[in-house]
């Protein structure tokens, strides 16, 4: 995790680096820092614990002048969040500065050797070994020193390095942590994520693993770690920067929830022509996909829940067996896969370390690999045989919402595409697409109803918070069949942004344990839209009510049955067939989490201890 940003050019660098870091703050926000190289060949550093706005306040009072700088926003791995552990780190003479994203696995041994050589360490971080190694090897040309230092490092890293001896120069290197160059006119940028450079340029180059770059305002030179020149053409990014701003919403999360209908409509417009589905960027020929005997999906967190839902979707539209695993479990299993397996890696960021490792494992075993991700040019998208982008636009809130529904939308279309190429029932395609086209309108209806009833939602959240003062209440989420993964997703969303304990369960599992938790305290969110398991959900609700449990059901409009069971609040969604219902039931779940977190005054877009992309194991 962590975000790094670098600038070299003719402008004052401090403001540009601060702005870049704000775009990367989702990657980590427990401390931050900046090093600026000025004309007098001196490196000045400011670091602090806390968020970037704290660094900004410090820099307002003590500005750093200079036109070359590197900055860092941290998610602590080694050493507590504190000013001395914040990056950039300096060598003993304060002549070299380093920022780092990743983990140096052999730092302990390196540190021991360096200490024996007389180096005094200032922090508890793994990163600090890098700066001392570069200093040790420095003989007047920074890139040579960095290259020699890299030979000694094991682990994952994206680093940026400057020295007071060479003005205007930044050297950066990448291994398994993302790094992108932004190419401007008379200025160049470095960042962990393309969204951080887009206000300045849309011409970018993604560094590959094992590559380094030497950057000045006028030029850049890419080589591999051995020093061999690499030539790579820039790509032009067409993301709209305004999509990464709040646009009048109180939080990015709320804005992103409200963007969902438009994103789904755009996905359908892009991928469906008449009754034909197409994935133009997919490099895997249809004939090869058709030969696949099974699909294995790997993902983490919310993306994993999209994978779980996909299993039901594929079972509905295709005849291909699907299994789903969390990437962190899959990568250490001795999974039986071969060239007839399609491994689908789902990831918003495309940088999740476990998912990347899982994909590599599958490649070793000769599986065909496909990445479904949101961030263009990300590591997963580059390493898989095929990629399908979800095109949800930049997702800034740490809690994933629009990326999830975009993943689901693409997975529905992918399943239907399999049916189209002969691996499923072609009869189902036209009616399914007809209904799917209407989903964005139905999503909008739910959001409009939330806006109309916002005060009621807030009152409910307030009621819960008042009750919580007297009793240790928490949330249970129950769902069945294709809405079971959404029960997990609802609980995850609530936990991560409101810090209220929550569990998601397959409702059929209630009797096997969780029912012991039921008394008048917990609130039980029951996903009960019209479906083939509706009657079973009614039974679950009755069982909860019989034990004085508080129920909030999510039902299909016009449901009279559940009203009779005296729920504390009913949330309605428009009528939709069961197979597409997760796209609707998830919206109230996102709004419940949002409203609760707001009631409890949480930092909704940047919840504690989390980071947007988990690039460490």
What is the binding site for ligand M6R (CB under 6 A)? 300-303, 347-349, 352, 355, 398-400, 496, 610, 613-614
Does the annotation mark 612 as catalytic? yes
Residue 151, judged by CB atoms within 10 A of its CB (0-12, 13-18, 19+), counts as exposed
In angstroms, the first-to-last Cα distance of the chain is 10
Choose the catalytic residue: 2, 300, 526, 550. 2
Q: Which is nearer to ligand M6R, 68 or 347 (CB)?
A: 347
DSSP for 81-133, please give it. Answer: SSTTTSSPEE-TTS-EEEEEEEEETTHHHHHHHHHHTT----SS-STHHHHHH
CB 116 → ligand M6R: shortest distance, Å?
Answer: 39
Q: How far is the CB of 375 from ligand M6R (least distance, A)?
A: 8
Cα 289 to its chain centre, rounded Å, is: 27
In b/e form, how buried is each residue of 424-447, taking b as 16+ CB within 10 angstroms? beeebbeebbeebeebbebbbbbb
Residues 6+ apart with CB under 8 A from 310: 297, 322, 324, 344, 346, 408, 411, 415
Q: What is the Cα–Cα distance from 96 to 42, expressed in whole angstroms?
A: 10
Minimum CB distance to ligand M6R smaller for 188 or for 381: 381
Toward ligand M6R, which CB reaches closer, 128 or 489?
Answer: 489
Count of CB atoms within 10 A of residue 453's CB? 14
Q: How far is the CB of 590 from ligand M6R (least distance, A)?
A: 10
Whole-number CA gyration radius for the chain:
26
Q: Which residues have C-beta within 8 Å of that of residue 392, sequence separation ≥ 6?
A: 259, 263, 348, 374, 402, 403, 405, 406
Which residue lies nearer to ligand M6R by CB, 163 or 371?
371
- Reading phi first (left if > 0) and then psi (alpha if -120 to 50, else beta), residue 79 is in left
Shortest CB 614 distance to ligand M6R, Å: 5
Angle between helices 429-452 and 454-470 (to 10 degrees): 70
| Rounded Cα gap, residues 203 and 184, in angstroms | 8
Residue closest to 588 by CA, chosen among 516, 506, 528, 520? 528
Q: Give least dist CB 497 to ligand M6R, A.
A: 8
Give the residue with the Cβ less far from ligand M6R, 435 or 503: 503
Annotation says 373 is catalytic: no
- Annotated catalytic residue, options 22, 46, 311, 612: 612
Whose Cβ is closer to ligand M6R: residue 164's or residue 401's?
401
The torsion angle over the Cα atoms of residues 557, 561, 562 and 566, rounded to 10 degrees, is 120
* 57 three-class SS: helix
Least distance between ligand M6R and beta carbon 352 (Å): 3
Residue nearest to ligand M6R (CB): 301
Q: Which is nearer to ligand M6R, 26 or 312 (CB)?
A: 26
Q: How far is the CB of 157 from ligand M6R (least distance, A)?
A: 19
Residue numbers annotated as active site: 2, 612
């Amino acid at each position: 995790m962590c975000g790094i940003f670098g600038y070299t050019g003719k402008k004052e660098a401090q403001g540009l680096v601060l702005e870049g870091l704000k775009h990367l703050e989702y990657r980590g926000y427990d401390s931050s820092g900046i090093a600026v190289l000025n004309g007098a060949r001196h490196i000045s550093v400011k670091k602090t614990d806390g968020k970037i706005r704290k660094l900004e306040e410090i820099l307002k009072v003590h500005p750093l002048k200079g036109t070359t700088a590197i900055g860092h926003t941290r998610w602590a791995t080694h050493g507590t969040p504190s000013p001395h552990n914040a990056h950039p780190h300096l060598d003993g003479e304060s002549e070299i500065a380093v920022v780092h994203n990743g983990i140096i696995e052999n730092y302990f041994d390196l540190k021991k050797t360096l200490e024996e050589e007389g180096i005094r360490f200032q922090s508890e971080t793994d990163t600090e070994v890098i700066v001392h190694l570069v200093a040790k090897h420095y003989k007047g040309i920074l890139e040579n020193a960095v290259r020699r230092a890299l030979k000694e490092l094991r682990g994952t890293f994206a680093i940026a390095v400057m020295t007071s001896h060479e003005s205007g120069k930044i050297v950066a290197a990448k291994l398994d942590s993302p790094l992108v160059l932004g190419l401007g006119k008379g200025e160049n940028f470095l960042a962990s994520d393309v969204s951080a450079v887009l206000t300045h340029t849309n011409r970018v180059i993604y560094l590959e693993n094992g590559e380094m770059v030497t950057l000045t305002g006028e030029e850049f030179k890419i080589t591999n770690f051995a020093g061999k020149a690499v030539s790579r053409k820039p790509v032009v990014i067409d993301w709209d920067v305004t999509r990464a701003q709040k646009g009048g919403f109180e939080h990015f999360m709320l804005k992103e929830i409200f963007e969902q209908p438009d994103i789904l409509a755009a996905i359908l417009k892009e991928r469906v022509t008449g009754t034909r589905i197409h994935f133009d960027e997919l490099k895997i020929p249809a004939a090869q996909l058709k030969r696949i005997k099974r699909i294995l999906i790997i993902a983490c967190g919310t993306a994993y829940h999209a994978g779980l839902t996909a299993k039901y979707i594929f079972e509905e539209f295709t005849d291909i067996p699907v299994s789903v695993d969390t990437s962190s479990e899959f990568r250490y299993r001795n999974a039986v896969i071969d060239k007839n397996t399609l491994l689908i890696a789902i990831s918003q960021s495309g940088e999740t370390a476990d998912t990347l490792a899982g994909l590599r494992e599958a490649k070793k075993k000769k599986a065909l690999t496909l990445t479904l991700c949101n961030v263009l040019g990300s590591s997963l998208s580059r390493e898989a045989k095929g990629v399908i982008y979800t095109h949800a636009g930049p997702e800034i809130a740490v809690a994933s919402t629009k990326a999830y529904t975009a993943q689901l939308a693409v997975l529905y279309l992918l399943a239907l595409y399999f049916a189209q190429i002969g691996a499923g029932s072609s009869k189902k395609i036209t009616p399914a697409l007809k209904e799917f086209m209407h989903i964005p309108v139905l999503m909008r209806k739910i959001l409009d109803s939330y806006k109309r009833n916002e005060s009621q939602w807030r009152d409910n959240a307030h009621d819960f918070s008042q009750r919580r003062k007297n009793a240790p209440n928490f949330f249970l989420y129950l769902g069945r069949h294709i809405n079971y993964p959404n029960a997990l997703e609802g609980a995850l969303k609530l936990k991560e942004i409101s810090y209220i304990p929550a569990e998601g369960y397959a409702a059929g599992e209630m009797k096997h344990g969780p029912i012991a938790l039921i008394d008048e305290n917990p609130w039980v969110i029951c996903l009960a839209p019209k479906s083939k398991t509706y009657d079973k959900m009614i039974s679950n609700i009755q069982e909860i009510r019989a034990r004085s449990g508080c129920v909030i059901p999510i039902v299909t409009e016009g449901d009279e049955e559940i009203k009779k069971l005296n729920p504390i609040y009913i949330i309605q969604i428009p009528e939709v067939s069961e197979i597409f219902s997760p796209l609707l039931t998830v919206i109230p779940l996102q709004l419940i989490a949002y409203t609760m977190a707001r009631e409890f005054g949480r930092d909704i877009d940047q919840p504690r201890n989390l980071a947007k992309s988990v690039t460490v194991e």
